[in-house]
Amino acid sequence: MATAVEVRDLKAWFGKTEALHGINMSVESNHATAVIGPSGCGKSTFIRCLNRMHETNPEAKAEGEVRIGGVDVYDVPAVDVRRRVGMVFQKPNPFPTMSIYDNVAAGLKLNGTRNRKTLDDAVERSLQQAALWDEVKDVLKKKSGASLSGGQQQRLCIARALAVNPEVMLMDEPASALDPISTAKIEDLIFELKQKLTIVIVTHNMQQASRVAEYTGFFLMGNLVEFDKTEKIFTNPSDKRTEDYITGRFG
Amino acid sequence: MTRTRFHQELEELKHRILAMAGMAEQAVDLSVQAYSQRDIAMCQRVLNNEPAINRAEREVDEFAVDLLAMQQPMAIDLRFILAVIKINADLERVGDQAVNIAQRVLHLVEYAPKDLPVDIPAMASKVRKMVRDALQCFIEGDADQAKRVLEADDEVDRMNKEAFANLSACMQDHPDSAAQALDALSIARNLERVADHATNIAEDVIFWIRGADVRHHAGQTASRI
C-alpha cells in the first residue's frame, strides 16, 4: 500500500489544553479515510493539523510528524502545504462577491497563474471533477458563488480546492448541512475523486463513513482508539469503546 | 448519542423471538410425547399450533427488517438482528419438523405397536436439550456454551445413522413391521433435522457475540456482512 499521509506522535494543544495525545496513522493513497468520534474528541483538530490549519489559531500549537509525500509538513512553509492539501469545510464558504469562475480560479491566481487559457482549462477541469460543470457552464462569469444552492456551493468549494491539483483533500463534515440529494452527489464525488487523490473525511454520519471510506479511525478524548478497514470497524470493531460509540451506547 | 429507544426495541425483538422459540420447543415436546404415548389429540395440537408459529415468524421478520431500515444498526447490534432473522427461520423449521413428526405418529398409530430397534425418546431427549441449550446461549449471549451445542450435534448424527442402519435391517428382516419402522426412521430423521437447526442457532449466537462465522467449519472472522 502506498502511504499518502504518515502521522507520527502527533500532539496538538489549544493554550495549555492538550487536544491530541500522540496520534499515529498511515493514510493510504487514493483511498478515502473517515475520521469519526463524539464532539470534542479531536477529529477536526487532527485533520486541521494535516494542512497546518490548526496553527492559524494563535493559541494553538502542534508537535510530531505529518509526512505527505515523505516531507514533514512542519518543515516547509504552511502555504506550500495548503497548496498540496486542500480543505472543504462543513459550511460552504465561496467568496461571495466573486463569480463562479473567479471562485475556482482564485487559488491559481494567488499562485501567480495569469494565462487565460490555463485558467479556463483549470476552471473547466475542476468544475467537471466536482460534478458542477453542467449546472454552471453557461453562467460562469455572470453568477456569483453565493447565488448557488447549498449543495452547489459545496461542490464549488471542492472545485476551488481541486483547481490547484492537491494530493490530499481534507473534508470536515462536507455534507452535514446538505439535503440527501446534495449529500449523495458529494459522496459520489468522493468516489470519483479518490481515483486521483487521497481523501480524509471527518463525519458524524456513520452511514456516510461506511459508504465512502475504505478506512476509518475512531477518536475519543484526543486519542485514536481504533483504526482499521471500514467494514471491520462497523461490523466487528476490536475495541469495546468503538463498539459502544457506533452502536450508540455512549456519547 | 445513547440510543435508548433503539436498544429497547432490540430487547423487544429478543422477547418476540423467545416467545416464538417457546412455541417451537413446545411443538417438538408435544410431538415426541405423542410418539411415546401414541396420542392422536397431541398430534392434532401440534398441527393446530403451526399457523401461530408461522405467523410469529412473519412478525419477527417484519420487526427485524423495520429495525434494519429505520435504525441502521452497526456492529454487534447489526449482527444481533441478522442472527435473529436467521434464528427465526430455523425456529419456524423446527416447528415444521414437529408437524412432520406428528403426521408420522398419526400414521403410526394406525398400525399395531411394534418393538423397534430404535430409542426415539433417548434421541428426542438429546435433541430437546440441544434446542434448549442453544436458546439459553441466545438468552445469555454465551458463545462458549454455543460451541458445546455444536459438539452435541455429532452425537445426534451418530444416533440417526444408527437408527437408519437398525431400522433398515428391521424392515428387511421383518417386512410386517416395515410401515412402523419407516415411520420411526422418518421421525429419527426429523429429530436429526431439529438438532441441525439447534446447531444453526448456536452458530448464529457465536456470530452475534464474536463476529465469527463458524458455519461449515469456516472458522474465520466475519469481516463482511
Please name the amino acid found at residue A41: C
Give the model's pLDDT for residue A30.
97
Reported confidence tier of residue A250, pLDDT bands at 50, 70, 90: confident
Nearest by CB to B75, which of A207, A243, A251? Answer: A243
Please name the amino acid found at residue B97: Q
Instruction: Identify the DSSP state of A99.
Output: B
Q: Is pLDDT at A251 greater than 90 in this prediction?
A: no
Query: Position of cell 483547481?
Result: A163
Chain A contact for B141, CB < 8 A?
no
Chain A contact for B69, CB < 8 A?
no
Alpha-carbon distance B3 to nearest alpha carbon in chain A (angstroms): 5
Give the model's pLDDT for residue B218.
62
Q: Is A9 left (phi over 0), alpha (psi -120 to 50) or beta?
A: left
**Closest-CA residue in chain A for B222?**
A236
Distances (CA, A) of A141 to A14, A104, A122, A161, B147: 41, 11, 15, 19, 69
Q: What is the pLDDT of residues A9-46, one digit of tens each?
A: 999 999 999 999 999 999 999 999 999 999 999 999 99
Q: What is the pLDDT of residues A77-115, one digit of tens each?
A: 999 999 999 999 999 999 999 999 999 999 999 889 999
Burial of B62 (0-12, 13-18, 19+ CB in 10 A): exposed
Chain A residues with beta carbon closer than 8 angstroms to that of B73: 247
| CATH number given to A3-92+168-246 | 3.40.50.300
Torsion sign over Cα A171, A172, A173, A178:
negative
Distances (CA, A) of A244 to A168, A218, B152: 31, 11, 34
Q: By three-state DSSP, how is residue A250 classified?
A: coil
Q: Where do the DSSP E strands lie in chain A?
A: 3-14, 17-28, 32-36, 60-68, 71-72, 85-88, 168-172, 198-202, 215-220, 223-229
Q: Is pLDDT at A73 greater than 90 in this prediction?
A: yes
Nearest by CB to A248, which of B3, B78, B79? Answer: B3
Average the pLDDT over A200-220 and give the result. Answer: 95
Question: Could you tell me the domains of chain B?
Answer: 4-221 (1.20.58.220)
Alpha-carbon distance B195 to nearest alpha carbon in chain A (angstroms): 28
**Closest-CA residue in chain B for A239?**
B75
Q: By three-state DSSP, how is residue A69 classified?
A: coil
Query: Where do the structural domains in chain A lie, given as residue ranges?
Result: 3-92+168-246
Give the model's pLDDT for residue A223.
98
Task: For residue B83, give the C-alpha cell.
Answer: 442472527
Chain B residues with beta carbon closer than 8 angstroms to that of A249: 2-3, 7
Contact criterion met (CB below 8 Å) for B58 and B95: no
Reported confidence tier of residue A212, pLDDT bands at 50, 70, 90: very high
Q: Which of A236, A240, A241, A242 to mutate to test the interface with B (most CBs of B within 10 A)?
A: A236
Chain A residues with beta carbon closer than 8 angstroms to that of B76: 243, 247
Q: Is pLDDT at A133 greater than 70 in this prediction?
A: yes
Burial of A194 (0-12, 13-18, 19+ CB in 10 A): buried
Question: In this complex, do B7 and A207 lie within 8 Å of one another by their Cβ atoms?
Answer: no
Q: Which of B76, B81, B224, B225 to mutate to test the interface with A (most CBs of A within 10 A)?
A: B76
Question: In this complex, do B6 and A38 lie within 8 Å of one another by their Cβ atoms?
Answer: no
Nearest by CB to B6, which of A234, A245, A248? Answer: A248
Give the model's pLDDT for residue B59.
97
Q: How many CB atoms lie within 10 A of CB B185?
A: 21
Q: Is pLDDT at A156 greater than 80 in this prediction?
A: yes
pTM beyond 0.90: the answer is no
Question: In this complex, do A237 and B75 lie within 8 Å of one another by their Cβ atoms?
Answer: yes
What CA–CA distance (Å, rounded) separates A216 from A34?
Answer: 5
Q: Is pLDDT at A120 greater than 90 in this prediction?
A: yes
Q: Which of A247, A249, A250 to mutate to test the interface with B (most CBs of B within 10 A)?
A: A247
Give the model's pLDDT for residue B1.
55
Give the model's pLDDT for residue B222.
36
Flag residues of chain B having pLDDT under 50.
219-225
Task: For residue A202, give the C-alpha cell.
Answer: 471527518
Q: Where do the DSSP E strands lie in chain B?
A: 212-213, 220-221
Contact criterion met (CB below 8 Å) for A20 and A222: yes
Question: In this complex, do B225 and A235 lie within 8 Å of one another by their Cβ atoms?
Answer: yes
Question: In this complex, do B2 and A250 lie within 8 Å of one another by their Cβ atoms?
Answer: yes
Chain A contact for B77, CB < 8 A?
yes
**Closest-CA residue in chain B for A207?**
B72
Give the model's pLDDT for residue B216.
74
Instruction: Identify the DSSP state of B176.
Output: G
Give the model's pLDDT for residue B224.
36
Give the model's pLDDT for residue B217.
67
Alpha-carbon distance A62 to nearest alpha carbon in chain B (angstroms): 30
What CA–CA distance (Å, rounded) separates A168 from A32?
Answer: 10
Give the model's pLDDT for residue A45.
96
